C-alpha cells in the first residue's frame, strides 16, 4: 500500500435504504423527571404525591399535601485541608495456619476447591469415573503419600483468587508402580 492510498478517506458503504431516519417519538426534555415525576408503581397503596420523592420540596411544586417532607439535616462541610490521623502504619502479612490433614486419596480439587464442574448431567459420571480410577490406584497413591503423612493447604489457590482450569497429572514413581503391580497381581491370584 502506498502512502497516498493510506491517506485516502474511505468512502461510506452504500446501503439499500438511503432515506433519513425518522425522528424519535419524544425529545429528551420530555422524558427527564420534573417536579411532578412519580416512579411507576403497580401498587395502589403507594402514594401518588410526587412531592414524597422530592427533598426539599421545590417552590411552586404541585404537592397534594402541605405536610413538610422529613428531609435529612444538611451539614456544611469544612473548607480546611484534609489532615491524616496520627496512627502508626500497620503491616499485615499472610502466615500459614499450620493446619494439616492426612492424605485425601479421593479428592477432586478442581471440583471441590475451585468449583470447576461439567454439565449437571455429565458431572456424576465424571465424578464416578474419577472415584473408580482413584480406588483402583489406591496402592499407588498410598505409596507416594503414606497414611500418616501430614498434608498442608500450601500450594493451592486461596479463596477469592482466580484459579485456572488445570489437568492434574499422576506423579511418576517407580516404587509406587511396583507396589501397584504387586497388589493387582496378588488380587488376581487371590480372587478366583
* Grid coordinates of 150: 501430614
Render pLDDT for 122-155 as a digit per residue (tens, 0 to 9).
999 999 999 999 999 999 999 999 999 999 878 8
Q: What confidence score (pLDDT) does residue 165 get?
A: 87
Render pLDDT for 78-126 as a digit per residue (tens, 0 to 9).
788 877 777 888 887 777 778 899 999 999 988 888 888 999 999 999 9
> CA-CA distances (angstroms) from residue 110 to 114, 130, 138, 145, 158?
5, 12, 19, 20, 13
* Residue range 45-52: mean pLDDT, rounded: 65
pTM, to two decimals: 0.48
Q: What confidence score (pLDDT) does residue 121 get?
A: 95
pLDDT band with cut points at 50, 70 and 90 for residue 174: very high
**What does the chain come to in residues?**
192
Amino acid at each position: 500500500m502506498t502512502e497516498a492510498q493510506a491517506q485516502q478517506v474511505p468512502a461510506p458503504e452504500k446501503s439499500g435504504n438511503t432515506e433519513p431516519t425518522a425522528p424519535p417519538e419524544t425529545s429528551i426534555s420530555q422524558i427527564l423527571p420534573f417536579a411532578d415525576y412519580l416512579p411507576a408503581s403497580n401498587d395502589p397503596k403507594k402514594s401518588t404525591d410526587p412531592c414524597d420523592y422530592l427533598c426539599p420540596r421545590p417552590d411552586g411544586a404541585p404537592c397534594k399535601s402541605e405536610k413538610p417532607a422529613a428531609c435529612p439535616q444538611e451539614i456544611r462541610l469544612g473548607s480546611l485541608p484534609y489532615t491524616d490521623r496520627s496512627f502508626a502504619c500497620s503491616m499485615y502479612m499472610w502466615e500459614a495456619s499450620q493446619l494439616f490433614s492426612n492424605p485425601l486419596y479421593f479428592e477432586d480439587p478442581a471440583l471441590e476447591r475451585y468449583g470447576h464442574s461439567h454439565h449437571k448431567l455429565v458431572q456424576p459420571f465424571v465424578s464416578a469415573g474419577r472415584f473408580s480410577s482413584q480406588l483402583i490406584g489406591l496402592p499407588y497413591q498410598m505409596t507416594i503419600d503414606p497414611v500418616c503423612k501430614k498434608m498442608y493447604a500450601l500450594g493451592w489457590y486461596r479463596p477469592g483468587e482466580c484459579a485456572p482450569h488445570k489437568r492434574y497429572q499422576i506423579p511418576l514413581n517407580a516404587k509406587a508402580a511396583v507396589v501397584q503391580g504387586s497388589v493387582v497381581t496378588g488380587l488376581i491370584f487371590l480372587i478366583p
